[in-house]
Structure 1
Amino acid sequence: MTGHPKAAVCVLGTGLIGGSVLRAAAAAGYAAWGFNRSEAGAEAAREDDFDVRSDIEAVLRRAADEDALIVVGVPMPAIDTILSDVKSFAPECVLTDVVSVKAPVAAAMHRHELAGRYVGGHPMAGTSESGWAASTPDLFQRAAWAVSVDPGTHKVAWERVARLALDCGSVVVPVLSAEHDRAVARISHLPHVLAEALAIQGTNGGALALGLAAGSFRDGTRVAATAPDLVRAICDPNAAALLEVLQDTLRVLEGARDSLRDNGTIGQLADAGHDGRVDFDDNQRWAITDVRPGDQDWAERLADAGRRGGVIESL
């Protein structure tokens, strides 16, 4: 493994997120190329002058030859297949990913005997669109990019992944995989569930309701425009954490229902929800400056700082 800041990057899966990583990495000066299972998708990228191929063996053999950082950008259901290919053709490369859950990906890395060179990643950015055409090099500007610091994380591998995230314009949030998955269940996966439910209620209201719908309905249902298969691929692998927070949310809604029925008001829901939004608006990132990878207990200290809202802005 090398620590060169502009070492090569190989992206497997060039949809919205993977494609944006490829574009951003190339813009930052990395030698970057990729794989897309669909030849049509690969051709679309080549038409934009990016080296993307549908031949996984050739792509990964180049990654092995150039000691590339491999970024896995396929949905969770395709992880085992792609890792089998990595194991066959580029088993010595450092690996990261951009999948929306971390613990299941880490488990897959262990199954394929690739965990020793893996550092989990998850850029918190996206749109309701998908595919190469939706990708952009600016997607990650000032976004939070979770980078795992699970026990056993290799310092050099971690620095390569963190540096890529920073060079793509993000700030790095060091996380433990299990804590990441519980957090994103609340702020990423639950919003998908609620957006789908809200969209259903709008449709159930018929043409009049849809004709009257304006900003709050549009904003609340934005992610419901995401392709259903992609929503399932995002939410289903995090079922346990999502189920827990969904149960919490149902209790909140049941409390509002009971208050409306018994007292003619939604009760404390509006106050508590407003306070929650203010907390989000007022939340301030702070820079982690007192922990360096390789220091004693560096991974544990970074995890604690990330847990308290700290981010890494430079290495």
Structure 2
Amino acid sequence: MCQPELVSAIDSAPPVCVLGLGLIGGSLLRAAVRSGRRAWGYNRSSESADAARADGFDADTDLVSVLQRANESGAIIVIAVPMPAVDATLEAIAAHAPDNPITDVVSVKGEVKAAVERAGLSAKFVGGHPMAGTSASGWAVGDADLFVDAVWVVATDNGVDADVWSQVADLALDCGSVVVPAESLEHDRAVARISHLPHLLAETLAITGAAGGELALGLAAGSFRDGTRVAGSAPGLVRAMCEGNRDALLVALDEAL
């Protein structure tokens, strides 16, 4: 049985509104609900929203309705869409829930921060990035355990609201993660080396291996499989991630070469 103070903490935690129900957003919705929070999500694709509802989760394809609900309840809004969709998502937030606390789970922090500034939403925004994922994508591959014991970066840029920062950190902790504070550009320089560069190298290795023909691929074993795992990621997502962090990634790539 939960201790009274734990029940009280869960009850007082703000609801969670997840925008984007792919691997990360879908896993976050699952994890937030499992932690005892009230949570719902939005996805542009009716297929994913329908699948989420079929699994017993609260999901919708009506972004305005979802954001109005967030505005009325004071929910923390989590942006979990690909980088190319961030600007449009922020425009909708500015129109329908401008005073809500906002975070994101996009793998690039500098570009998201700049987009938030353009939308005039910096006062209540704190960036975030859970260092977890797989090469698969979509609602169906989400997992409430995805963030357990994973590092979750919570941005410490100048001027961040301390209360919003605490709310984002609490959400990460509720999902089972280990919170690591970092400034946005510092984060981007780091992940260029340990996340984005590996995607380029994995794709290069996959192409090089395939060029060796059937014999090369037939002889491939563990080292090739491990080295090319993330080459199976959705190309559009990888491109958006790498281009969004191009400056730091080019430095890392030059050093690798």
TM-score, normalising length: structure 1: 0.78
Q: How does 1:194-209 map to 2 (within 5 A)?
A: 194-209=201-216
Give the CA RMSD over aligned residues: 1.0
Partner of 2:23: 16
- In the alignment, which residue of structure 1 is the partner of 2:139? 132
CA distance in 1, matches of 2:174, 2:12: 9
Report what 2:64 is aligned to. Answer: 57
The aligned runs of 1:1-315 (5 Å cut-off) are 5-250=12-257
User: Can you give the 5+ residue segments of structure 1 that lack an aligned partner in the other structure?
Assistant: 251-315
Per the alignment, residue 7 of structure 2 pairs with: none
Structure 1 CA distance for aligned equivalents of residues 123 and 185 of structure 2? 18
Question: How many angstroms does 1:40 deviate by?
Answer: 1.1
Instruction: Verify the 8 A CA contact 1:6 1:29 in the aligned structure 2.
Output: no
Retained in 2: the 8 A contact 1:13–1:34?
yes
Instruction: Mark the runs of 5 or more structure 2 residues left unpaired by the alignment.
Output: 1-9
- The SS at the match of 2:74 is coil
Does the residue aligned with 2:245 lie in a helix, a strand or coil? helix
Match for 1:198: what amino acid? L
Q: Tell me the TM-score normalized by structure 2.
A: 0.95
Note if contact 2:11-2:37 (Cα within 8 Å) is conserved in structure 1: no
AA aligned opposite 2:107: S
1:70 positional shift: 0.2
- Percent identity, aligned pairs only, is 60
2:76–2:103: 8 Å Cα contact kept in structure 1?
Answer: yes
1:5 positional shift: 4.9
Q: Distance in 1 between matches of 2:254 and 2:102?
A: 35
Q: Report the CA distance between 1:142 and its aligned residue.
A: 0.3
Q: Give the Å deviation of 1:27.
A: 0.3
- Larger-gyration structure (1/2): 1
Describe the SS at the equivalent of 2:135. coil
Give the Cα separation in 1 of the matches to 2:227 and 2:103. 32
**What is the aligned partner in structure 2 of residue 284 from structure 1?**
none
**For residue 120 of structure 2, what is the amino acid of its counterpart?**
E
- TM-superposed deviation, 1:149: 0.7
Post-superposition CA distance 1:186-237 (Å, at most 9, x none)? 0000000000000001100000000000000000000000011111011110
Q: Give the equivalent residue in structure 1 for 2:4.
A: none
- Please tell me whether the aligned partners of residues 7 and 69 of structure 1 are also in contact (alpha carbons under 8 angstroms): yes
Q: CA deviation at 1:6?
A: 2.0
Alignment partners' CA distance in 1, 2:94 and 2:243:
25
